[in-house]
Amino acid sequence: MDWPIAEVARMSGVTARTLRHYDERGLLTPARIGANGHRHYGQSQLLRLQQILVLRALGVGLQEIARILSEGVDEVEALQGHHRRLLAERDRLDALAATVSRTITELEQSRKDGIPMTINRPENLFEGVTPSHYEDNMADFPELAEVLARRAAGMSQADADAAHRARTAQMIRLAELMAAGHPADAEPVRAEIDAQYQALTELRPVTAEEFRAIGRACVDNGAWRTAYETIAPGLAGFQRDAIDSYAVNRLA
């Protein structure tokens, strides 16, 4: 038995475009291609796709996934390794959730007292933060992913860590605006989105529609959505709506 690409996309939650991209990268060759040109996937391909998506959820890049899959590790052994990493990721998310909760409590207390929040140990803001959930998961934007990969290759570990801390801080600022009751099209929110857009355009030109697609990916891409929702429930949708408003009103 096999399943057409549309059904595999529905079951797995990834787009047909992403599945075709995995095929082009040599990661996931379909079991067969029908007379109409449609790809069909069998059970072995579904198991391989599961491995790919688990590794993507863990923040592994496509190049590294290709290397891992090419090693031909036994499926059970591979899944056991993935399971260990997922448990470690669960612990990381728990730590990140505790970090954000602590920050919310301190911010609320500072506002209640009417004095600015004092950060005695700034490194505590980033406990549980790793660089795996943001720029790596760009399968739906291969050209931008290629630019990001080239940039990452030229960065030191310290620079990469600083960039990811800045990205997390950006997400926290957006969460604070959302918690304060600002709508997605409010000017303070729009200023945050403008900073995101300008950062992207420093890498390559980004059209309004591409930026809106990136916004939708904040909800549709499982790894991105997890990263946003770990910061604050509803943040993924808020980011999507804010980007959509920005693109319509500033870029159209």
What amino acid occupies position 61?
A: G
Q: What is the pLDDT of residues 55-103, one digit of tens each?
A: 887 767 788 788 888 877 777 777 777 778 777 777 777 777 777 777 7
For CA atoms 203, 206, 210, 213, the dihedral sign is positive
* Listed residue (177, 179, 180) closest to 195, CA to CA: 177
pTM of the prediction? Answer: 0.48
**Above 90 in pLDDT, residue 182?**
yes
Instruction: Write the burial class of residue 31 (CB in 10 Å: 0-12 exposed, 13-18 middle, 19+ buried).
Output: middle
Integer Cα distance of 78 and 112 in angstroms: 51
Instruction: Write the burial class of residue 186 (CB in 10 Å: 0-12 exposed, 13-18 middle, 19+ buried).
Output: middle
pLDDT at 135: 45
The answer to whether the beta carbons of residues 216 and 240 sit under 8 Å apart is yes
Structure tokens at 200: 């992207």
Averaged pLDDT for residues 182-208? 91
**Above 80 in pLDDT, residue 250?**
yes
pLDDT at 49: 92
Q: Could you tell me the CA-to-CA distances from 215 to 141, 210, 246 in Å, in that order?
A: 12, 9, 10
**Above 50 in pLDDT, residue 13?**
yes
Integer Cα distance of 197 and 199 in angstroms: 5
pLDDT at 91: 76
The answer to whether the beta carbons of residues 89 and 56 sit under 8 Å apart is no
Q: Where are the domains of the chain?
A: 3-70, 129-251
- CATH 3.20.20.60, domain 3-70, yes or no: no
* Listed residue (235, 230, 243, 139) closest to 199, CA to CA: 243
What SS3 class is residue 228? helix
The residues, ordered by sequence, that sit 6+ positions from 126 with a Cβ below 8 Å of its Cβ are: 99, 165, 168
How many Å separate Cα 36 from the centre of its chain? 34
Least confident of 136-145, 193-202, 232-241: 136-145
Integer Cα distance of 200 and 183 in angstroms: 23
Integer Cα distance of 214 and 210 in angstroms: 6
Q: What is the pLDDT of residues 104-141, one digit of tens each?
A: 777 777 777 777 655 555 555 555 555 444 444 555 56
Least confident of 13-22, 44-53, 162-171, 242-251: 162-171
pLDDT at 161: 66
- Better-predicted residue by pLDDT, 139 or 10: 10
What SS3 class is residue 200? helix
Least confident of 141-145, 216-220, 222-226: 141-145
Least confident of 4-8, 38-42, 68-72: 68-72
What amino acid occupies position 191?
A: A
What SS3 class is residue 230? helix
